Structure formats: structure tokens, C-alpha cells
Amino acid sequence: MLLDAGNLRAMAIGCSILGAGGGGDTSVGLLASLQAVEEFGPVRVVDLDELDDDALVMPCGGIGAPLIWIEKIDRGDEIPRIIPIVERIHGKPVAALMSAEIGGSNGLSPVVWCARSGRPLVDADGMGRAFPEVPQVTMEVAGVSPNPAVMTDERGNVIIFDGIDGHWMERMERAAAVEFGGQAYSSEYQMTVAQAKTATARGTVSLAIRIGEAVLAAPRDPVASLVETLGATVLIEGKIVDVERRITGGFVRGSAAIEGLGPQAGRILRLEIQNENLIALEDGEVRASVPDIITVCDTQTATAIHTERLRYGQRVTVIAFACDPIWRTPAGLELAGPRAFGYDLDYVPVEAIWRGGTSAPA
């Protein structure tokens, strides 16, 4: 499969929906990727089975508060600047790049970096969605080392990190990203193809494109098409009546309230946010939670609205759907379940909370 002007718009829509409100807005990322494939040619997407087992896969992405990316866009050469450093450390060439997270602009930006570096993009990622912290990746669950981490900014500064674990890597890189102006670009958890086969969420680039195509192919009722494609649950259809958002510690944190309209009038759903939508609450009861994916969609177009773009008065449909199975394991929940974000809640799969997918909680 080749990524070009014919399918990048669909991929952008799918990445946004998979992002759970995070990963960075795809508007600029789509323009950058379209320019990159026009200038350097289409990007080849490869399955891990197509690569040699001992070949080196380099995950990559942006780190920082997504709100910053709206005004402080990247140059496009940040990750290609890191590649030779990673190759020197590992003593072998980087065979392919992989998105650290398929959600949001972080799912789309590797198209730019692959086009510029002449490398293929692996049809996989490290989350199957977006998460706010460095070690919240499938590679951490699988026991892959985060070292070395190589970080750069748009100015050309480069830092190499060697942390005792993924959580210390998060602390160090987050602090550096703040000093870089709230955003940076990095690679961690480099691994062989053999490791990646059991340490990644596979097929997620293809999934993002399928999701986007389902939305684009149903102009009369794209939300229904999206819900059917994902097997998603509609949490509420209404309008945003309150948004509270702030940047602190390198994250966007806050909440948003959605008031039901029509048959759902009188209902209020509240979303708790840390870069991504983490918890959906109604009358104090959990309606969906991490690691499942909670996405706020425009009711008319079904396109995702990222947390940094939420505004009073927007007509939205909030959906939730299952995460990659690895996040429902004990190790996955320890790393990215509600308690990992400070919520004293037991995780319950969204399909177990709701009866019939769209009617009422069980």
C-alpha cells in the first residue's frame, strides 16, 4: 500500500478518531504530509512480516501539549535529523519508521518523516490510540527497553537520554519538552522486527484509513457509518456547554461538559481530560474510561474534535469503543487504566457498561 493524496485525507480522519481527543490536531499534519508526498513521492506502508527479523524499527512522534501545535508547527526535518544518531548508537540502519501512537497528528506525521528520509512506514504503532505519557506504549508492556531516547526540537537541539525505566524517561523528556517551548520530537523503544511482531498494535495504519473511508463514504449519516465500522457506543448526542482547559507540566488538562439534545435532553456527560479524553461521567457514574477510546465527533460530519479544539456550543456526538486487547490485560491496565491517571476506579469495558451499544447503561 502507498500513502498519497488519494488516501491521506481518510487516514487523517481515522487518526483523529483513534486519538481519543489527543495526539495533536491533524489539520496541519495533513497539509504537511500532502506536501511531503508531492515533493518526495508516495510513502510505502509495510507489514512487519515483509521485513527481516533483525531489521531495526524506529518508533517516533511528537511529545508535549497538543495545544502548542496549533501555533508552533514543526519544520518536517526533526525525525530525519534523529535517524543517523539512532543508527550510530545501534550500529545498524533504520529499516522503517513506526508511529509511536496512531492517534491524532502523531499518527500522520511519520508520513512526512518517511517521505523525507526515503523509508517505509510500518503498518503498526505503539498504542492503537493516543496516550499522554511516554511509557504508555505496547512496547513497555512487552518489556522492550525505552533506551536510547533521542529528542530534538525545531531549532536543531538534540538530547540523548538513558533512563532507568520508562517512567523516568517520561519525567526527563517531559521536562526537556517544556524547555523546548512545550513540544519536541523523539524516538524511544527502538526494536528489531522480531520484537515488534509481538510488541506493537498491528494493522493500525490500515485501520485508520478504513475508518476515514467509512466516514467519507457516508455523507448523509457519517456518524452511523462510523459507529457501525468501529462497533462503537454512542454516549451522548448534544452540545458542549462548558470547557475548562489549561496547560500544566507539559500536558493539556481539564474537562468538558456535554448537554444532551432532543430525546437526550436533561442529560449531562462530563469528560475528564489529560491531552486525551480519559473518563466519561454522568451523574457521578462512569460511562466509559481509559484504556477504551472516547472520542468527541462533530454530529454533522463525524470528524473528531481534539481536546484543544473543544468550544462552547459545538454540536457533538460522543462515542466510545474498545481499545487494543493488550490494554485490557493486567499489565496494560496497570500502565494505562484509570488508576494510572489517579482515578480510584476499576476498569469496566465500555461494551459491558452499555446494553445494546447505544441505548442505556446496564
Whether 185 and 239 share a structural domain: no
Grid look-up 487516514 returns 11
Within a domain: residue 209? no
Strand-pairing partners, residue 191, are 57
Domain tally, the chain: 2
Whether 90 and 188 share a structural domain: yes
Whether 162 and 245 share a structural domain: no
Average per-residue pLDDT for the chain = 94
- Measure the CA angle with vertex 91, ends 89 and 94; round to 5°: 90
CB atoms within 10 A of CB 243: 17
Whether 230 and 184 share a structural domain: no
Whether 140 and 246 share a structural domain: no
Whether 276 and 232 share a structural domain: yes
Residue 47 CA: distances (Å) to CA of 56, 59, 202, 328: 14, 15, 8, 24
Whether 200 and 224 share a structural domain: no
Whole-angstrom Cα distance, residue 79 to residue 152? 8
Whether 115 and 152 share a structural domain: yes
Grid look-up 494510572 returns 340
pLDDT category at 356 given cuts 50, 70, 90 is low
- The reported pLDDT for the residue numbered 72 is 74
pTM of the model: 0.93
Within a domain: residue 210? no
Tell me how far the alpha carbon of residue 109 is from its chain's centroid: 11
| Spatial CB neighbours of 1, under 8 Å, sequence gap ≥ 6 | 44, 45, 123, 206
Whole-angstrom Cα distance, residue 38 to residue 41? 6
- The reported pLDDT for the residue numbered 129 is 96
Q: Which of these, 247, 245, 350, 260, lies nearest to 307 by C-alpha position?
A: 245
Within a domain: residue 99? yes
Whether 239 and 187 share a structural domain: no
Whether 181 and 254 share a structural domain: no
Whether 114 and 237 share a structural domain: no
Whole-angstrom Cα distance, residue 122 to residue 115? 13
- The reported pLDDT for the residue numbered 320 is 98
Within a domain: residue 313? yes
Within a domain: residue 211? no
Q: To which H or E segment does residue 158 belong?
A: strand 158-161
User: In CATH, what number is assigned to the domain containing residue 229?
Assistant: 2.40.390.10
Domain, as residue range, for 169 = 2-204
Within a domain: residue 214? no
Domain boundary among 152, 172, 204: 204
278: left (phi over 0), alpha (psi -120 to 50) or beta: alpha
Residue 99 has pLDDT above 60, yes or no: yes
- The reported pLDDT for the residue numbered 24 is 82
User: In CATH, what number is assigned to the domain containing residue 143?
Assistant: 3.40.1610.10
- Measure the CA angle with vertex 94, ends 128 and 131; round to 5°: 20
Residue 138 has pLDDT above 70, yes or no: yes
Maximum distance among all alpha carbons in the chain?
62
Whether 228 and 97 share a structural domain: no
